[in-house]
Amino acid sequence: MRQLKKPTYAQVNDDIVRTLVETGPRYYLALGTALLVSIVLFFLPWYYQLRTGVGLAGMNQPNVWGSYLANFVFWIGLSHSGTLLSAVLHITQSPWRKAIYRSAEAMTLFALIIASLCLFVHLGRSWFLHWALPYPNQMELWPNFRSPLLFDVMAITAYLTGSSVFLYVGAIPDFAAVRDRVCGWRKNLYTLLSLGWRGTDMEWHRLGVAYTFLAVLIIPLAVSVHSVVSWDFAMSIVPGLHHTVFAPYFVVGAIYSGTAGIVTMMFLLRKYFSLESYITTTHFNNLGKLLLLLSLLWAYINMLEIFTGWYSGSSAQIETLNYKLFGYYAPLFWGMVLFCAIIPLALIVKKVRTSLITMLIISVLINIGMYIERLLILTTSLSRKYLPDYWGIYTPTLVEISIFIGSVALFICFFLVFVKIVPSVSMYEVKETLDTPDRRR
């Protein structure tokens, strides 16, 4: 499969440092566009909303949660695979992880930041969000730790810290390697970031130990983060949300959409940074297998959720279920089933997994489907609560659509800045997969 000639150690350095320092006009064009789009479609509407009120969104009384919260869950979900996948693959010592994990972890970090921003957008009075943080204050009032929303605050804080530490510790040797190749402000930056790393045997040993421990800590953390997000919904007694299966459902969904996100991102990295010799079809093949497994798991849990709801026989559950399957949002539901459960079955064919363009299409479709899922979880449940007199319908407004597109642009912005600052492929670990220069050979 790997027909490309393996690069030498020196070539690895050259290739990766090149992605950092050589910046073409296309990059600036992309960054400028993304920045402009994020300002026009994210920050301006948000500012407008801060001035007037959340009423700009399409939410109403039974549907008090809308696409802003769906955005939050979507971005948290996207954040899930990066660091989690990287940690799992590190512990299971899968060598194919090494070329992809850095950018996957960056995806985690930025998706998390966007998710937190989405929380800000969601709030009625965003300027008081700090009240939900535990800090001593003159009101002598602390946040309510009984609230699932506060579990969220704590979990996201821990996850943001954990994944940035994981990303940073893994990148220290690469910062050191880049430090010696650049000049100017970059030199100062990388000198600071590399902390004086020399690559001695002692340092490598400590790095290995610390990195493994971090990986071990990140896995339960990542699982808990999305469980906690699911509890925001499942702790309510709303029919359609109050399911015990919600935590695993969300975790699987998150890993699913996150893995699809990684495939999309790898395709773009490979294409626009000419990293063909590092990101190979092996990676797409392996990720394709993972996606296939996750799609089956996701479909299974979805069926289970519907089945247990139906089997309960409670009138409220049945109504919510009927509404979900055949009501106003039914086209969206069946679209989601098509995108997330049926189309990914094509991944069973190896040709599909190793063809980059089909992988790109499938991964994008999966994420569209997963976004629909997040929206449906909120809308189909909240619009059919217990009292039929108060049923309602929710449709997103232009402001909400623009804020979602803007948040994607903001994510791209972050990512474009990232690839110019942090080596997007781990040099030292890619070198590990190559042959050590030994005299014997």
Partner 1 sequence: MAAELLGLFSHADQALKAAGGLRDTGFQEISLMSPTPLHGVEQVLGRKTSAIKRFTFFGMLTGLLAGFLLAAGTATLYLLPTGGRPIIPIPPYLVISYEVGILFAVLATLFGFLVSARLPALRERHYTPETHIDRFGILVTCSSEQDAERARTIILAAGAEEIRQLEYLGKKSHEQ
Partner 2 sequence: MSDSDSIKEKWKKYRNPGYQDKFDYSWGMVIDLDRCTGCEACVTACQAENNLPIVGEEGFRSGREIKWIRIERYWDGEYPDIKLRFIPMLCQHCDNAPCEPVCPVYATYHNQDGLNVQVYNRCIGTRSCAAYCPYDARSFNWFSFTWDKPLDEQLNPDVTVREKGVMEKCTFCIQRIRQAKDTAKDQNRRVRDGEVQPACVQSCPTQALVFGDRNDPDSAVSKLAQNPRGYQVLKELNTNPSIIYLKNL
Size of the site for partner 1 (CB under 8 A): 65
The binding track of 264-303 with respect to partner 1, each residue x by CB under 8 A or -, is ----------------------------------------
Q: Report how far residue 187's alpha carbon sits from residue 196's, in angstroms, rounded to the nearest whole number.
A: 12
> Among 140, 201, 389, 438, which residue sits at the site for partner 2 (rule: CB under 8 A)?
389
Q: Stretches 56-64, 152-160, 354-362, 401-409: which one binds partner 1 (CB under 8 A)?
A: 152-160
Q: Report how far residue 148's alpha carbon sits from residue 143's, in angstroms, rounded to the nearest whole number.
A: 11
CB 399 within 8 A of CB 244: no
> Among 155, 251, 301, 403, which residue sits at the site for partner 1 (rule: CB under 8 A)?
155
CB 418 within 8 A of CB 84: no
Q: How far is CA 252 from CA 226, 246, 282, in A?
A: 9, 10, 23
> Among 127, 128, 141, 388, which residue sits at the site for partner 1 (rule: CB under 8 A)?
141
> Among 2, 5, 10, 128, which residue sits at the site for partner 2 (rule: CB under 8 A)?
128
Q: Report how far residue 360's alpha carbon sits from residue 268's, in angstroms, rounded to the nearest whole number.
A: 9
Site for partner 2 in 20-79 (CB under 8 A): 52-55, 58-65
Task: Write b or e for each residue in 110-127: b if 16 or more Cβ atoms lie within 10 A of its Cβ, otherwise e.
Answer: bbbbbbbbbbebbeeeee
CB 413 within 8 A of CB 112: no
Burial class (CB in 10 A: 0-12, 13-18, 19+), 350: exposed
Q: Pick from partner 2, partner 1, none: which does 24 bind, CB < 5 to 8 A by kind?
A: none
- 220 sits near partner 1 (criterion: CB under 8 A): yes
The binding track of 108-127 with respect to partner 2, each residue x by CB under 8 A or -, is --------------xxxxx-
- 413 sits near partner 2 (criterion: CB under 8 A): no
Site for partner 1 in 10-29 (CB under 8 A): 10, 13
CB of 232 vs partner 1, minimal distance in Å: 12
CB of 127 vs partner 1, minimal distance in Å: 23
CB of 180 vs partner 1, minimal distance in Å: 3
Q: Report how far residue 106's alpha carbon sits from residue 258's, in angstroms, rounded to the nearest whole number.
A: 12
Tell which residue, 14, 18, 49, 34, has the closest CA to residue 416: 34
- 9 sits near partner 1 (criterion: CB under 8 A): yes
CB 406 within 8 A of CB 41: yes
Residue 30 or 149 with smaller CB distance to partner 2: 149
388 residue type, one letter: P
32 residue type, one letter: G
Residue 224 or 354 with smaller CB distance to partner 2: 224
Residue 125 or 350 with smaller CB distance to partner 2: 125
Burial class (CB in 10 A: 0-12, 13-18, 19+), 351: exposed
The binding track of 308-347 with respect to partner 2, each residue x by CB under 8 A or -, is ----------------------------------------
In sequence order, the 6+-apart residues with CB closer than 8 A to the CB of 244 are 234
The binding track of 418-437 with respect to partner 1, each residue x by CB under 8 A or -, is ---------xxx-xx---xx
Q: Stretches 173-181, 314-322, 403-411, 414-422: which one binds partner 1 (CB under 8 A)?
A: 173-181
Output the CA torsion 73→77→83→88 (10° steps): 130
Site for partner 1 in 180-209 (CB under 8 A): 180-181, 195-209
Q: Stretches 5-13, 160-168, 229-237, 286-294: which one binds partner 2 (CB under 8 A)?
A: 229-237
CB 163 within 8 A of CB 408: no
DSSP secondary structure letters along 28-91: HHHHHHHHHHHIIIIIHHHHHHHHH-GGGSS--SS--S-HHHHHHHHHHHHHHHHHHHHHHHHH
CB of 405 vs partner 2, minimal distance in Å: 23
CB 309 within 8 A of CB 240: yes
**Interacting residues with partner 2 (CB under 8 A):** 52-55, 58-65, 122-126, 128-129, 131-132, 141, 143-144, 146-150, 153, 232, 235-238, 382, 385-390, 392
**Interacting residues with partner 1 (CB under 8 A):** 8-10, 13, 134, 140-148, 150-151, 154-155, 157-158, 161-162, 165-166, 169, 172-173, 176-177, 180-181, 195-210, 213-214, 217-218, 220-221, 224, 228, 427-429, 431-432, 436-440
